[in-house]
Structures are given as structure tokens and as C-alpha cells.
Structure 1
Amino acid sequence: MAGVRDVAAAVLTRTGPITTMKLQKLLYYAQAWHLVFQRKPMFDEKIEAWPQGPVTPSIFAGHRKQYQVTSGPSGNAGALTAPENATLTWVMDKYAHYSAETLSRLTHMESPWRVARGIVDENEKSSQPIAHDQMRHFYARRSPMSTSRSPRPRPARPWKVSISTTTGNELSATSRPAPALPTTWSPKK
């Protein structure tokens, strides 16, 4: 298992200089998705639900009062295992193009941060940790991956959507192929 400083160094190796906020959010997503893909944490350090979103305090302490981070705080990017690198590559492909502010807004809309914040006002300080179970559960439901534990895309599946012929409301969606409609199809009256 890599340390959070190793993961931070690996992120910075891939991105170059980035804002401290963006580094924090990418570390959070790396941890969350590694919990989904490998069912274990990528690093041991806790992530807290701060007003600006998820923050790893030990990394924050290493670049306190810096707007931009240019190098990993004494981390070794080469210390990541193959599964950790695979997860980080997937996370970078999915999230690295977003701005720090967008990533912060995303985390604020997602339940792991919101549950950890509880009833604390959005701008109030908090050091409440974000639970691994919350992260794994939330992101597993959003996973585009198969039920396997490695980050591989699922094959595309056709969807069948049933529509009520009287109200037009959607009734169900299943992963079975939709049958072809007859060319003279019309709703029953």
C-alpha cells in the first residue's frame, strides 16, 4: 500500500503544477475509486470533510499557504503498485481535466462529504473523517465498471424502455434488448 505522499507525488508527476485544492480532490477520488475497484484503501491517511471539500490533513500541512503545488511532499511516485497505478490512471482520465472549483462543487454534491459534514454548516470548520464505507458504497453505485474488481469498462448494453401508451410516463428500464417495433405500430386506444 502506498502512502498518501506517494500518491500525491504520482498525481503531480502526471499533472505538473496544480492548485492545492485540485491535488486534494484528486487524492480523494483516487482513494474513493480504489475502494471500489480493489475493495481496500489506496493509502491509510484519513480524509476529512472540510468546508472546501475533502482534505487529507497530512498533505495540507505539507503545502499550507501555497496556492500551487509543484512537487510531491517527500513522496515517491514509483512506490505505487500496479493496481494503484491503474486506479490513479483511471481517476486522472475521469477528473484531471476539471478545475479545482468544479471538483470541489462535485464533492459538495456527493453524499460521502455531505454525510461526514452532518448538520455542520457548509462554511463551518470540521475535522470529521469521511468513512471508507460511505465512499465505497456511493461510488460503487456510480461505477461504469463491471462487477470485477479491476478498472475495466463494461461492454455497452442496449436498453429497453417501456412507455405507457396512455400517459407517456416511463414505466421501466431493463438491460434486455428492446424488440423492434412493427412499422405500423400505434398506441391502443
Structure 2
Amino acid sequence: MTEVPKAQPLHAIELAQFIIAAYPDKGITPMKLQKLAYYAKSWTLVAHHPFIQADFEKWTYGPVNASIYNAYKKHGADVIPLGRKPAGISPEQGQILTFILDNYVDYSAFTLSAMTHNEAPWLEAEESAVISDAAIFTYYSNQPFAKNFLKLQNAAQQPFHVLKSNSWHSFTLDMDKEEAETFATYPTAEDYQHQSQKAKHDFQNLLREIDELL
């Protein structure tokens, strides 16, 4: 990831269009779109590159941007059809957004919603109130994943700090603290992606073997 220069602001609908176009095979429903957009804004704030101009309110199922809601609510719980990629996103903006979203996009809408429900910005906001940038920055900048944004330049060669999601906690549940921490950091983001894909492949093979035995 390279340093992100000052760029034109990215508005809510442009962000939504980017997410839908960038992940055509990830089952992006309106609910999932909202949570991905929220995390994109949150981590760009932490990275000190606040180019996303979109407010998120505290709704029952997590943070919601009203413009995105009104634009895509007609799809209900269905996957949103692939649309055009917005023209106004710079390569640098696209790069940082992809870096962030790659860590969330494989989760279901309900898993992402549950994640926001366990985090202070949503928990502490008043019902239907805008979740403030200050609350977002204060909380997420103190999470381990924030260390990935300390040096955006040459980030591909920097140690990668894993997003400590519900699945990470489940994976390390039976480990002691020292052992669990060995799975919290990888030499690079590429190494983490490689190991993650290998683990998924091995798990799928195991499920096939079990199915064949039954």
C-alpha cells in the first residue's frame, strides 16, 4: 500500500458502487454493504486519510448510512446486481479501500452486524444518532488492526496485524495467550492471505473427506 495523497472526497454512493463492483462474487446485500462501507470509513479515519464523506447512524442492525439505505433498499435481503465502478476513485484510494475490505468481505451480513454490536461506537451512540468520527477514531485506533496503518508507505513489506474478529477469537479460544498471539501477526499481508487461503482449502478438503465417509 502506498501513501495516499490528498484527493477528492468520496461520497456514500460512490463508496457503495466501489464495493459492489470490486466484489461481484461476495454476495453483497444491502445490509452487508452498509457494514462494509462503515468499516471502510472507520479505518480510513484511523489511517489519517478521511476521504470518505458519509455519516453512519445507529440503527437496530448496526451502523447505517441513509443515502446508501435509500439507494439499495429495494433489493431487500437479495444480492445487489453488479453495477458500474465509480470514476472518481483514485488508484491510491482504491488500494487502501481494498486493503481494508479484504479483511471483512468474506463475513456474512449478520456476522458483520454482530461485530459492530460488540464495538463501542455503535454501543455508546444514541438510537438513530450519527456515530461521530471522534468516537470511531478513538475506538478503532486502539485496536491491534490499527497498527497496519502506522506506515502506509511500503505497507506490503510491513508486519501484518490480524483483524481480531469473532472468528479469530473462536480459532484461538483453546490456546493460551502466548500461543494465540503467534496467530495475531504475520510477516506481511500477502503471507497472511496465503496462509488464510491454505487454511480454507484444507478445511474444504476435510469436509469433503467427511462427506465421502458418511
TM-score (norm 2): 0.61
Write the distance in 2 (CA, Å) between the matches of 1:40 and 1:33: 9
Pick aligned residue for 2:112 from 82, 103, 118: 103
Larger helix share, 1 or 2? 2
Write the distance in 2 (CA, Å) between the matches of 1:115 and 1:152: 32
Write the distance in 2 (CA, Å) between the matches of 1:151 and 1:56: 32
Structure 1 residue ranges without an equivalent (≥5):
118-125, 158-169, 171-189
What secondary structure does 1:102 align onto?
helix
Q: Does 1:155 align with 2:155?
A: no
Q: Per-residue displacement from partner, 1:71-100 (whole Å, max 9, x unpaired)?
A: 45xx75231123421221112210001000
Write the distance in 2 (CA, Å) between the matches of 1:65 and 1:156: 38
Q: Per-residue displacement from partner, 1:118-160 (whole Å, max 9, x unpaired)?
A: xxxxxxxx32001111111211111131523569264379xxx
Q: Does 1:31 align with 2:41?
A: yes
Q: Per-residue displacement from partner, 1:55-78 (whole Å, max 9, x unpaired)?
A: 000110112242232245xx7523
User: Which residue number in structure 1 is paired with residue 5 of structure 2?
Assistant: none
Aligned length in residues: 147
Pick aligned residue for 2:70 from 42, 61, 65: 61
Output aligned runs, 1:1-189, within 5 Å.
1-16=9-24, 17-37=27-47, 39-66=48-75, 67-68=77-78, 69-71=80-82, 76-117=85-126, 126-142=127-143, 143-145=146-148, 147-148=150-151, 152=155, 154-155=158-159
Closer, same or farther in 2 for the Cα pair 1:60/1:135, shift >3 Å?
Answer: same
Structure 2 residue ranges without an equivalent (≥5):
1-8, 162-177, 179-214
Is contact 2:55–2:65 with CA below 8 Å preserved after alignment?
A: yes
Is contact 1:3–1:45 with CA below 8 Å preserved after alignment?
A: yes
Write the distance in 2 (CA, Å) between the matches of 1:136 and 1:42: 14
Bigger Rg, which one: 1
What is the aligned-residue identity percentage?
31
Closer, same or farther in 2 for the Cα pair 1:63/1:129, shift >3 Å?
Answer: same
1:45 to partner: Cα distance: 2.4
What secondary structure does 1:78 align onto?
coil
Closer, same or farther in 2 for the Cα pair 1:86/1:156, shift >3 Å?
Answer: closer
Is contact 1:53–1:107 with CA below 8 Å preserved after alignment?
A: yes
Is contact 1:5–1:76 with CA below 8 Å preserved after alignment?
A: no
Report the AA paired with residue 159 of structure 2: P
Is contact 2:148–2:160 with CA below 8 Å preserved after alignment?
A: no
1:35 to partner: Cα distance: 0.4
What secondary structure does 1:134 align onto?
helix
